[in-house]
Amino acid sequence: MAIILGVDPGSRITGYGIIRAQGRHIEYIDSGCIRVGEKPMAERLQTIFHSLATLIGEYRPEEFAIEQVFMARNPDSALKLGQARGAAIVSAANSGLPVHEYSARQVKQAVVGKGGADKSQVQHMVQVLLSLSRTPQADAADALAIALCHAHMNQSVTRLAAGGKVRSGRVRQQ
């Protein structure tokens, strides 16, 4: 059984999602947003770092998953996103958590079934997969989707390590 903290980094809003995964059973624990507003960048990064450290201390995840940086049209936005990612990764690393990174396409593929899914499709599938009573906020849903992607990847790796063989997208026991 693993508790996974998924993070969707942002320089103004960082989403987080926490799930417990045991085999194919996945349970929702918590999710939300770290809102940093219009503070100077150094204060925003500090807030992201400390907020995630607090969540890690409270929930004691064994795994940390985060979205990789994508190249934005605006280089300044990409740099700020990279800095927010860095603050989140250092918070996890300081707690001794292994850090796993996934592209937006991988996350959407794992949760929705297609890499080009839009935000509303991700929100809907996260709600369905975790049996949530309402649709999570977009940044929290993205973070939960990252955690779900990691859980699915762990499950696949575990099956392969147990002697399974991949053929036509399925794992078969030998």
| Catalytic positions, written as ranges | 8, 67, 139
Determine if residue 67 is labeled as part of a ligand binding site: yes
Tell me if 118 is assigned to a ligand binding site: no
Q: CB 68: neighbour CB atoms within 10 A?
A: 14
Asked whether the beta carbons of 123 and 138 are under 8 A apart, the reply is yes
Between CA 98 and CA 158 the distance in angstroms is 16
Which of 71, 62, 126 is CA-nearest to residue 99? 62
Are residues 6 and 19 in contact, defined by beta-carbon separation less than 8 angstroms?
yes
Residues of each annotated binding site for Mg(2+): 8, 67, 139
Residues of each annotated binding site: 8, 67, 139
